[in-house]
Structure 1
Amino acid sequence: MTTDTPKAQQSFALSEAEIDQFHQQGFIGPFTAYEPDEMREIWRRTRLQMLDRSHAVYPDDELSGATNISNYDRHLDNDFLAAHIGKREIVDRVASILGPDVICWRTEFFPKHPGDEGTDWHQADTFANASGTPQILWPDNAEFGGTITVWSAFTEAKVENGCLQFIPGTHQQMNYDETKKMHYDPNSINGVDKDGVRRGFFGYDYRELQVDPDWKPDEDAAVSQIMEPGQFIIFWSTLMHASHPHEGLTNDMRMGFATRYVPSSVSVYPGSDHIEEYGGRISLERYGSVLVSGENKNPGNRMVTETTRGKKF
């Protein structure tokens, strides 16, 4: 007689073949975290809950114009998102790549409304691209850099409404110099045409960071990542990635939710007490990384636990 292993006890670790595939192409998936109908119902509830920012770590009255930051780190005040970042289907696979000691250092909502431009091609290693100040730093002897991004489809993601695009194998070499600083211009949003495609970067022009100003990504090699609600895909932040525009053929909003993971030895916001992005500056006073696997190997990082989540330090 055999019995099914309870889901909570299952391991979702990547196989050796999957790990090899990931290292070759820089991404893997999609995988399923929730069934489509389950995710639709979860998102219906969660979308309404997001309107309440009374316990958000970045209060509205402190955003100083940096409206995009309001999409950051809602896992620190929302129960579903707090559970989502530690979901075994996700964390087991991430730990297969990063090792047993893993923290989630940021989450972000990525909505794509009807008519919105596509997100331009980009890579991120230290996430210093907007301010010139590194937001994550790996130890000097680290084998890798950047972050593991898990992009979850909370709604259907297809070409017509702005799904992700990757250029496989481009994660091994950075084409951008993040020590430079981009110039923020909110008036450029939805107003830039690049080779016949509406692409922007939330008010920035990512091309300002190019090491070679004449270089262009090989878009012929790009692959589109079509996903059902409840699926997720895993990729290095150093992989060349972008998204299609939302063509506005339907009134549905495409919603993606990105969770960013690094080994717990990585320094998060080193030497900083604020985030400076999107024309604004906001305090990290109530911010903290979350340990999702193993042990915290960096006592210098701000951390939160279930008992401190959503509360002032």
Structure 2
Amino acid sequence: MTTQTSPYSLSDSELQHFQANGFVGPFTLYDREEMKQIWRRKRIELMDRSAAVYQDEAAKSGATNIANYDRHLDDDFLADHISRPEIVGRVASILGPDVLCWRSEFFPKYPGDEGTDWHQADTFANASGTPQILWPNGSDFGGTITVWCAFTDALIETGCLQFIPGTHQSMNYDETKKMHYDPAQSNVEKDGVRRGFFGYDYRELQVDPDWKPDESQARSMEMHAGQFIVFWSTLMHASHPHAGLSQQMRLGFAGRYVPTSVRVYPDTEEIQEYGGQVSLERYGAVLVHGEDTYGHNRLATETTRGHAFGVHAR
């Protein structure tokens, strides 16, 4: 299902590449120096969590990855970022005209940090065992479109993303198994590489416990600050460790998108994962393109500070 109403829609060749490989890009959204200046300002402003939607201890303490969720719901720049036409036009050309942004996340990697385990995400039940997104008509395979933007340079030595092209059509992991949270599992060497998954071992979800990803096919996705890449969450992806050769952190900001037909956080009022939980009382998905005729999900039309979200017409 595609739409070609935006000047930023993927071209036919880009769509073919995406369908075959599960990713497309990178594309440039901000000038490299502009992005660096924006982040210098934002990293200080985002320390103020007084308007953040998650005020629970797990988020306020920053002790778990939940603290990095959904800052587009309180920050004006991030609110505009997830709705940028350069992003939304490309996403809509894949998902169709009616699109929600249901989550955003920061992915920091500091000097010496481990790499991220190879993984795929379909319903995002991987940590809690409870689906966070459900596609319609009983579909047992869906996922989300992730738009991962480099807020700093993302190089091999600082921990850039890795993809295994063409692996997005089938799942090697059973998200219903539920992983066991143990911070001690971080920085564990796996097949010669220091990798982890924020206190989990993603291998616990493997359908075949003896299976290993074919890393000979892996591609490293280096990006300069201000560039972004678009990929299915069901694509096998990981990241390199931060080698510590540079003292600069690597920071990615990911927006996650689904059609309006998808149910977000169905039948739940909280997120439970990474050893913590937060209430969804103030949460809302954001309509970024088209219209929502389903009414499945609670929508946010402005940030907690009153900044309106941009919605692009069909």
Q: CA deviation at 1:246?
A: 0.1
The two structures have a TM-score, normalised by structure 2, of: 0.93
CA RMSD of aligned residues (A): 1.8
Please name the residue that 2:97 is paired with. Answer: 100
For the residues of structure 2 that align with 1:215 and 1:309, how far apart are their CA atoms?
A: 48
For the residues of structure 2 that align with 1:143 and 1:14, how far apart are their CA atoms?
A: 27
272, 277, 287: which one aligns with 1:291: 287
Q: Does 133-142 or 155-164 show the bigger shift? A: 133-142
SS at match of 2:158: coil
105, 109, 113: which one aligns with 1:112: 109
Q: CA deviation at 1:142?
A: 5.9
76, 80, 83: which one aligns with 2:77: 80
45, 49, 72: which one aligns with 2:45: 49
CA 1:307–1:41 in 2, change beyond 3 Å: closer, same or farther? closer
Please name the residue that 1:155 is paired with. Answer: 152
SS at match of 2:176: coil
Q: Does 223-232 or 56-65 show the bigger shift? A: 56-65
CA deviations 1:117-149 (Å, max 9, x no partner) are 000100000000001100000002769610000
Q: Which amino acid aligns with 2:212?
A: K
- Kept in 2, the 8 Å contact 1:64–1:280? The answer is no
167, 185, 198: which one aligns with 1:170: 167
For the residues of structure 2 that align with 1:236 and 1:131, how far apart are their CA atoms?
A: 21
Q: Which amino acid aligns with 2:185?
A: S
Q: CA deviation at 1:281?
A: 1.5
For the residues of structure 2 that align with 1:309 and 1:173, how far apart are their CA atoms?
A: 41
Q: Which amino acid aligns with 1:200?
A: G
Q: CA deviation at 1:282?
A: 1.2
Q: CA deviation at 1:67?
A: 2.0
Please name the residue that 1:67 is paired with. Answer: 64
- Kept in 1, the 8 Å contact 2:58–2:276? The answer is no
The two structures have a TM-score, normalised by structure 1, of: 0.93
**Alignment of structure 1 residues 6-25 onto 2, 5 Å:** 11-25=7-21
Please name the residue that 2:143 is paired with. Answer: 146
2:218 matches 1:209? no
Please name the residue that 1:33 is paired with. Answer: 29
SS at match of 1:29: strand
Gaps of at least 5 residues in structure 1 are: 1-8
Q: CA deviation at 1:298?
A: 2.8
For the residues of structure 2 that align with 1:144 and 1:231, how far apart are their CA atoms?
A: 29
Please name the residue that 1:90 is paired with. Answer: 87
For the residues of structure 2 that align with 1:227 and 1:124, how far apart are their CA atoms?
A: 22
Please name the residue that 2:194 is paired with. Answer: 198
CA 1:142–1:13 in 2, change beyond 3 Å: closer, same or farther? farther
For the residues of structure 2 that align with 1:274 and 1:10, how far apart are their CA atoms?
A: 35
For the residues of structure 2 that align with 1:11 and 1:49, how far apart are their CA atoms?
A: 33
For the residues of structure 2 that align with 1:159 and 1:62, how far apart are their CA atoms?
A: 31
CA 1:280–1:310 in 2, change beyond 3 Å: closer, same or farther? farther
For the residues of structure 1 that align with 2:240 and 2:270, how far apart are their CA atoms?
A: 31
Gaps of at least 5 residues in structure 2 are: 308-314
2:185 matches 1:188? yes
For the residues of structure 1 that align with 2:36 and 2:97, how far apart are their CA atoms?
A: 31
CA 1:310–1:280 in 2, change beyond 3 Å: closer, same or farther? farther
Please name the residue that 2:122 is paired with. Answer: 125
CA 1:144–1:177 in 2, change beyond 3 Å: closer, same or farther? closer
